[in-house]
């Protein structure tokens, strides 16, 4: 398949790994932001192919993983109501709240539906005017335009029976938080290619300058990733700290302006809680006042509450690159995809799930 097969070619990956070995003279620690990149790294065994001096840390870019537990509890509460059709991306259904997940609600008779796009929720709302339809609008900058489009269209069409439970996060403030940790080890970033498809690369310039750190916008296939690492190491070895674009076949410097406009129309920047990490200033997107009628948390009068459960889960540290999944005592023993403690073990973009699913085999 074009744009996929050539980026999975063992020969090209091998060539880049050899080139990488030639330019690497000392240990470097690089973080890939996106969970999709983490999965690709673990699935294709990239850590084993690159020079041993290079350490890859896995970043927070897993939308399911960072959605706060109280929001899952809110979702569970709403989805259990008899007049509600609760629509969500599939990955969200297995994520544990403080008591249960959305799959359990479905199993007990809740009308929980997996949709591939928020626009489907709109169609469902039109098909069932007597029901309250709620869409779980989560994700990073990548899902924000489609979610914004659905919310915008719901207002345009004056739909009264749809609302959105929103948990939108944005990447750059999380990178800043990681860099500001006193014991931060990250020396270079592979920025998330798809996020930059929407937002462009310019917002990373200040971070690269302020923290003197190279940031390489990188794709998701094995060749993309070793190329991204190569570009990052080339900068580190030369003492550079710039924003570079490896994923130029998809990412433009200015991003997707139409999508950005739509995001601005519907959302405003708000403080946002990240599961396992805590609140990060200016790191979320909340509905603007002009769209507050579509806010499920006010429509269903959800009270904000703290929920803390006693769990050995270290997903917060995993998300921030402080620990690796296999450093957790529960990993693969009491915490597995069948009975996960944290969202990082559930999601197809979670680092723990990647480590569990793609166990390595010595060549």
Partner 1 sequence: MFRLFSLQAGGTMTEENGFSCPLPFHENAVVTLAHGGGGSLTHQLIEKIFRPAFDNPDLETEHDSAIIEVGAGKLAFTTDSYVVQPLIFPGGDIGSLAVNGTVNDLAMSGARPLYLSAGFILEEGLAMETLWSVVQSMKQSALSAGVKIITGDTKVVDKGKGDGIFINTSGIGVIEQGVAIHPSQIQSGDEILLSGDIARHGMAILSARKDSGFQNQIESDCASVAGEVLSLLDAGVRCLRDLTRGGLATALIEISGSAGVSIEINESEIPVQENVKGACEILGFDPLYVANEGRFVAFVNPKDTAQALSIMKKASADARKIGRVTEPAGKRVTLKTRAGSSRMLNMLSGEQLPRIC
Q: Between 128 and 358, name the residue whose CB sits nearer to partner 1.
A: 358
- Are 162 and 122 a contacting pair, CB within 8 Å? yes
Among 222, 228, 284, 286, binds partner 1 (CB under 8 A): 222
Q: Which of 191, 254, 256, 220 is nearest to 3 (CA)?
A: 220
| Sheet of 188-192, strand order | 54-61, 28-34, 188-192, 215-218, 243-245
Among 53, 73, 120, 203, binds partner 1 (CB under 8 A): 120
CB of 178 to partner 1, least distance (A): 21
- Are 106 and 82 a contacting pair, CB within 8 Å? no
Among 140, 164, 204, 230, binds partner 1 (CB under 8 A): 140
Return the residues of window 287-326 that contact partner 1 according to CB under 8 A: none
Q: Which of 69-77, 133-141, 170-178, 270-278 is the region at the interface with partner 1 (rule: CB under 8 A)?
A: 133-141
Give the C-alpha separation, 2 to 25, whole Å.
35
**How many CB atoms neighbour CB 248 within 10 A?**
13
Q: What is the DSSP letter of 327?
A: G
Which residues 6+ apart lie within 8 Å of 15 measured at CB?
Answer: none
Among 10, 52, 129, 312, binds partner 1 (CB under 8 A): 10
CB of 238 to partner 1, least distance (A): 27
- Check residue 9 for interaction with partner 1 (CB under 8 A): yes
Return the residues of window 149-208 that contact partner 1 according to CB under 8 A: 194
Element (H, E) at 279: strand 278-287
- The sign one gets for the Cα dihedral 354, 323, 234, 50 is negative
Phi then psi dihedrals of residue 206, to 5 deg:
-60, -35
**How many CB atoms neighbour CB 31 within 10 A?**
28
- Binding pattern for the stretch 324-363 against partner 1, x by CB under 8 A and - elsewhere: ------------xxx---------xx------xxxxxx-x
- Binding pattern for the stretch 22-61 against partner 1, x by CB under 8 A and - elsewhere: --------------x------xxxx-xx------------
Element (H, E) at 60: strand 54-61
- Check residue 148 for interaction with partner 1 (CB under 8 A): no
Among 18, 108, 209, 261, binds partner 1 (CB under 8 A): 108
Q: Between 10 and 271, name the residue whose CB sits nearer to partner 1.
A: 10
Which residues 6+ apart lie within 8 Å of 124 measured at CB?
Answer: 85, 87, 113, 115, 133
CB of 9 to partner 1, least distance (A): 7
Give the C-alpha separation, 21 to 23, whole Å.
6
Q: Binding residues for partner 1, per CB under 8 A?
A: 1, 4-5, 8-10, 13-14, 36, 43-46, 48-49, 63-64, 89-94, 103-104, 106-108, 114-117, 120, 123, 138-140, 142-143, 194, 222-223, 336-338, 348-349, 356-361, 363
């Amino acid at each position: 398949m074009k744009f996929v097969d050539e980026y999975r070619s063992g020969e090209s990956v091998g060539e880049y790994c050899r080139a990488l070995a030639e330019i690497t003279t000392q240990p470097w620690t690089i973080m890939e932001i996106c969970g999709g990149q983490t999965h690709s790294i673990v699935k294709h065994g990239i850590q084993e192919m690159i020079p041993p001096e290079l350490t890859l840390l896995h970043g927070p870019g897993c939308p399911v993983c960072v959605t706060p537990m109280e929001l899952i509890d809110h979702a569970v509460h709403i989805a259990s109501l008899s007049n509600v059709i609760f629509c969500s991306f599939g990955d969200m259904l297995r994520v544990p709240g403080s008591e249960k997940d959305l799959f359990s609600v479905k199993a007990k008779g809740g009308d929980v539906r997996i949709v591939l796009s928020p626009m489907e929720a709109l169609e469902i709302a039109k098909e069932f005017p007597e029901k309250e339809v709620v869409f779980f609008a989560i994700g990073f900058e990548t899902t924000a335009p489609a979610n914004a489009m659905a919310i915008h269209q719901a207002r345009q069409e004056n739909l009264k029976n749809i609302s959105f439970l929103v948990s939108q996060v944005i990447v750059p403030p999380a990178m800043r938080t990681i860099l500001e940790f006193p014991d931060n080890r990250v020396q270079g970033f592979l920025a998330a290619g798809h996020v930059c498809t929407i937002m462009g690369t310019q917002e990373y310039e200040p971070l690269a300058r302020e923290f003197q750190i190279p940031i390489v916008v990188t794709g998701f296939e094995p060749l993309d990733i070793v190329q991204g690492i190569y570009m990052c190491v080339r900068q580190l070895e030369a003492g550079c700290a710039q924003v570079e674009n490896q994923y130029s076949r998809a990412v433009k410097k200015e991003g997707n302006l139409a999508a950005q406009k739509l995001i601005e129309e519907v959302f405003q920047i708000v403080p946002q809680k990240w599961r396992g990490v805590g609140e990060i200033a200016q790191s979320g997107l909340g509905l603007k006042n002009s769209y507050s009628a579509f806010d499920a948390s006010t429509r269903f009068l959800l009270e904000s509450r703290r929920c803390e459960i006693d769990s050995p889960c270290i997903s917060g540290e995993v998300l921030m690159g402080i620990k690796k999944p296999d450093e957790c005592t529960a990993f693969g023993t009491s915490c597995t995809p069948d009975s996960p403690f944290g969202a990082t073990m559930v999601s197809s973009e979670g680092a723990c799930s990647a480590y569990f699913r793609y166990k390595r085999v010595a060549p």
